Amino acid sequence: MGKIIWYFGGGNMRSVYGAGIVKGISKRMPLPELFKSTREFIVGSGGAINVAGLVAEQAEIPGEICISDLQSEFVSYSGAMSRILRGFGRKIGLKLEVNSAPNCVEIDYLMDVLWNKRKLVHGRVKHCPVPIMIKLFDVKTMGLIHKDLREDPQERIKQGVSIIPYYTSKGTLVDGDALVPLDLDYIS
């Protein structure tokens, strides 16, 4: 029998739903059994946080973050308004610099909650025996790429949940799941 490819996408409700799925998997399947039957994890955006929690044996963290930590400081209302106005500007033909607008969400706040408040153990993620391929969009080449989240969990998750580049000096990789939710070309 072939091995399973698990896909965990992002986006508000997909992330919340995925948090419940990883918690259920963690209660019903020991990690060694899960790893033995898995070819790879493909993740996008919030799905990266869900799978990181699963493989770190902290599957409750993604759900707790959704319920408790992202209720007040997560959405950047000025960033959201800026993105709406930029979208309108593009529709009427204005050329706008990609890195000039803020994110719609407070990425640094989310990263602080994930790594410092909830203390997700990134060392366990790094040593996962199964590839965790995060889907990213490169705004320079305008193409999707897949990077192994295990190489640098903190950086990859930050890139994967960023709607626009969060630091111009750190590159141009952002959430690829927003562009192509289920990348069947990559899976096949």
Domain 4-72+107-187 carries which CATH code?
3.40.1090.10
Contacts of 135 (CB under 8 A, 6+ apart): 42, 43, 44, 144, 145, 146, 160, 176, 177, 180, 183, 186
pLDDT at 167: 39
Least confident range of 98-102, 107-111, 124-128, 148-152:
98-102
Domain range annotation of the chain:
4-72+107-187
Q: Which residue has the higher pLDDT, 177 or 45?
A: 45
pLDDT at 7: 92
Contact between 153 and 126 (Cβ < 8 Å): yes
pLDDT at 42: 94
DSSP, residue by residue, the chain:
-PPEEEEE--SHHHHHHHHHHHHHHHHHS-HHHHHHHEEEEEE-THHHHHHHHHHTT-THHHHHIIIIISSSSSB-HHHHHHHHHHHHHHHTT----GGGS--SB-HHHHHHIIIIIS---HHHHHT-SS-EEEEEEETTTTEEEEEEGGG-HHHHHHHHH-SS-S-GGG-SEEESTTT-SS-HHHH-
pLDDT classification of 117: cutoffs 50, 70, 90 = confident
pLDDT at 130: 96
Whether pLDDT at 88 is above 70: no
pLDDT at 95: 59
Q: What is the pLDDT of residues 128-169, one digit of tens each?
A: 999 999 999 888 888 889 999 999 999 999 888 887 654 334
pLDDT at 79: 54
pLDDT at 152: 92
Contact between 47 and 15 (Cβ < 8 Å): yes
Q: What is the pLDDT of residues 5-16, one digit of tens each?
A: 999 988 777 888
